[in-house]
Structures are given as C-alpha cells and as structure tokens.
Structure 1
Amino acid sequence: MTALGFLYPGHSAEDDYPRMEQMLGSDVRLQVVHTDIGEDAHRVDALLEMGSAARLAAGVEELRLSGAEAVVWACTSGSFVRGWEGAHDQVRDLARAAGLPASSTSFAFAHAVREVGAARVAIAATYPDDVAGHFSAFLKSAGVEVVAVRGSGVITAAEVGTWGRDEVLALARDGDHPDARAVLLPDTALHTAAYVRDLEAALGKPVLTANQVTVWEALRLAERRVNAPELGSLFTKEPLVQVRG
C-alpha cells in the first residue's frame, strides 16, 4: 500500500481525490487534510496568506499519522504567486515540517509538462488575468514556453467548485491555442477528474488539470507509476528516456 498525503485548501473539489483513488485501481491511498484558507479570494495578498508556512504546518501532523510517504500542497495559486524561488522555499519548509518528500501543484505542472513532452503550452485559467499571469511567469521560470494565457475572472474557489462538465469543457476550448502541445487548467478548486478523457478527446492533445497533476506528483515523489487511462495521457505515457553520461 502506498499512502500519499495532500494538504487541500478549504472545500471545493476535494471529492476529485476519492474519485481518482478509485481510478488508480491499485494499492494507492490518497489522504486529504484540509487547510484553513483565510479569505477565499483569487487575489495575490490573500493567496500569499493562504499558503503561509503556519497554515500548511497545521495539517502536517495528521498526514504523518496517516502514514503518508509524501505530501503535496494541493494548491496552484497558493504556491506560484510566491514566484519560482518563493515556491521552492514553501516546499522546503513543508518538507522540513512533515519530515517527508514534498511538492506543490505548481511544481507538479512543471514536471507533468515535461512528462508529456509538451514544448509549448496554453493556460486556461479560472483566475483573474493578473493571477493567471503569475502562473505563466512561474512556468516560464521552469523553462516552459507559454503560447497563450486565458483568465476567466473568477474570484472565489467556492464559485469554481460549482462548475460542471460543460463549463470545464468550455474553459479548455476557449484557452486552447493551435501552437500549444498541451492545455493546462491550473485550479484545484475545479472538478476535472471525471472529465480528463473528454477534454483530451475534444482538444486532441494532452490536458493537464490541477488535481490530476497533484496526484501524479505525489506518486512521482513516492517513486510509483500507475497506469490509469481514465486520467488521461499523463497516466498512460511511458517515461521519457533519460540519457546518462
């Protein structure tokens, strides 16, 4: 049994995690601990506070007691708004507090883009434009070429959590770009686990969504690879060949 831990901000789309646990179809357990988000707002100052070391550390003990082998801060905006170096500091603090390998959804996207071999990506975000721009800057710091960024202007995670399949498909289509080799939907408040295959079929390319890449990142930290076609290309692709020498 591989136990993976997730610190999830508030309550919006956390039911994606038990759904994905079933899709993985193996001996993987996904343990979600909710963190206090403070103010529910896709605004830089609120997002910085949401991802503070104190708020994340408060959930660490419960994850340790669950037997988690790795922990991921299951929030994209609450990490990338800190910038490349600040997001690294946040993950290092989390790893020290947990005594476990740690990452965040922002880094999960950077790693997942490389995994699917996408040289260029488009961002289809629920966020206001300025917050979406911070995600684009973060990816560029990771060496990812961003060819298009679309924000949707939604302020609260609570509103995003009400979106269903039609809204998610429309978001992905509107954010796609002919030059993009993958489309990224970077909000863990958005329900996507049930729609990844539909999204990829509609766009004809890999689609990476926040909760999907978060679980993949935790598996990567635990050195597990699970074939789960319902979760899209990211969970069916063979690992890229690593050239050593």
Structure 2
Amino acid sequence: MTVTNIQEIEFAHAKSEYYPDCKIGLIALRTDHLVEDAMRSLLCDSGVSIITNRITFNDPINKENLQAMELDLERAVTDMLPGKQIDVVAFGCSSGTVAIGEKTLTEKIRKIKPTARVTNPVTAATSAFSALGVKKLTIITPYISEVNKAVAQFFTDKGLDILNITGFNVMADADITRIDPAAIKKAALEYVHPDTEALFLSCTALRSIEVIEELEEKLGIPVITSNQAMAWHALQLLGKHHAIRAGGRLFSLDVNVS
C-alpha cells in the first residue's frame, strides 16, 4: 500500500491582489437569465473582475414585487465577498431601481460597502444621455403600463422629455428573455417617435444589446440599453475607457463622467 506524502509549504510565498481596484459587484435578480452574460460579453477584455450575487425577486413584475427586493438587499450585498472591497456595485434591475429609489439603493449598498461606487441601469442611462447630449427619448420596455408610468416619471424628473413609452406587457421575468431580438427591433422601428433624439431599451433581462448597432444605423440616433449603459457607467466610475464594437455610439465616446 502506497502512503501519500503530504507536505506543507513553509517559505514566505509572494502575495498579490486579484484585480485590485477593478472589481464590479453585480446584484442580479434570481429570475434574470441574461444580465450576467450580457455584462461579461461587454466587459470581457476590459480588465475588470465581475462578482455576482442574486437577490430575491418574485413574479409578477409589478410595483409591489419590485419594491420588495429592498428587503433582501442587505443580505445580497453582505454576501458579496464579505469584508472585502468591491469597487463598483451594480444593481442589475432598471424597474427595481425606479421602484425602490436611487437614493435608497445607494445608501443601503454603501452602508455595507462604504468605499464602493454605485450604479444601476437607469442612473447609468441618465449619465449616458447627458454624455450624448440628448434629452428627447423614446423608451421601449417589456413592462406593464403601471411600471412604465413609473419609469417615464423617473426620467421626466431627471429633466428628460419622454416623447413615448411602449411595453411588451410581460409579467414574468424569465419571459422577458424569451422576447426575440427580432421582436425588439420591430417594436423599435414601429414605435420610435419621429422627434426623438435617442432610444432607450429598458430592462437587464431584455436581449437588446444584439440589436444596438443595426438600430443605430437604421434610425440614425443613439440606442441605449440597460446592460450596455450599466457596463459603460461602471467603467466610467472605475476611470476606464473601453471601446467595443457591440457597444454602439455610447462606447465610442471619449468622456469621463462620475
């Protein structure tokens, strides 16, 4: 019988941090099929590390259930590399941010990760619209009218002019990802307002980054999506510039915002 030789390393080995100052903590809905893949595809060679944790969400997608995510926020952030630095925390839900509130989200996240910068899709989109110099928007979402009304009001309160907002009336989060990109493109071309300066495709579960470039070419205006904006804003908060083809006009900007 062979006896396995078990040894311990006794010398003082070199130590270094993994992705120092470039860790993005992504809070994803437990029902979201897409946001992690979308963020990784956008940021795959940008020199950042993406750490993900899931937050409790229950269908249907309505104001009450979106607000209820706040009850699990502390646990979701605390369990993300406990006691370790996260440089940017990204809350991966557009309508959830609107329902809970930007200020509330930021305060609760920073209570646990005090040095973290915080982003989310609608804060990021607001920053993107400012960087692009646009104010008149068409918004397309997968949401019901109750949720769309709150989304429109959020951006109106930011000083933006929401010319029209159209939703697919989906009630289950997983069904949002089942909306084919061809349907998103068709809706965009049909419902875009003739006076709009940019199109916003809202929701991290929507397969919208696949149609950014084609829609920008056909419409002649910037196309902003939840995941694209959040990835771009996270890099901005890290002081990084990363141009990618699939990112549309937004990722071609040479700006530095906070």
TM norm. shorter chain > 0.5: yes
CA contact (8 A) 1:128 1:153 kept: yes
Over residues 26-77 of structure 1, what are the superposed CA-to-partner deviations in whole Å (9 max), with x where a residue is unaligned?
A: 312333222121x122211111102x0x412222234345753110111011
Aligned residue among 80, 87, 90 for 1:69: 87
SS at match of 1:17: helix
CA contact (8 A) 1:92 1:102 kept: no
1:30 aligns with 2:50: yes
CA contact (8 A) 2:239 2:256 kept: no
1:58 aligns with 2:80: no
Q: 1:171 to 1:33 in 2, by over 3 A?
A: farther
Paired residue for 2:126?
Answer: 110
CA contact (8 A) 2:86 2:113 kept: no
Could you tell me the percent identity over the aligned residues?
A: 22
Tell me which amino acid in the other structure corresponds to 1:87.
E
Whole-Å Cα distance in 1 between the matches of residues 52 and 190 of structure 2? 31
Q: Mark the runs of 5 or more structure 1 residues left unpaired by the alignment.
A: none
Tell me which amino acid in the other structure corresponds to 1:45.
E
Whole-Å Cα distance in 2 between the matches of residues 139 and 229 of structure 1? 27
The equivalences for 1:18-167 within 5 A come to 18-22=40-44, 25-37=45-57, 39-50=58-69, 52=70, 54-64=71-81, 68-82=86-100, 86-99=101-114, 100-167=116-183
Aligned length: 233
| Structure whose CA Rg is larger | 2
Q: State the TM-score, normalized to the length of structure 2.
A: 0.83
Q: State the TM-score, normalized to the length of structure 1.
A: 0.87
Instruction: Say which is worse superposed, 117-126 or 88-97, in terms of deviation.
Output: 88-97
Instruction: Say which is worse superposed, 194-203 or 140-149, in terms of deviation.
Output: 194-203
SS at match of 1:58: helix
CA contact (8 A) 1:8 1:75 kept: yes
Aligned residue among 220, 234, 239 for 2:236: 220
Whole-Å Cα distance in 2 between the matches of residues 16 and 188 of structure 1? 8
Q: Mark the runs of 5 or more structure 2 residues left unpaired by the alignment.
A: 1-18
1:178 aligns with 2:194: yes
Q: 1:150 to 1:94 in 2, by over 3 A?
A: same
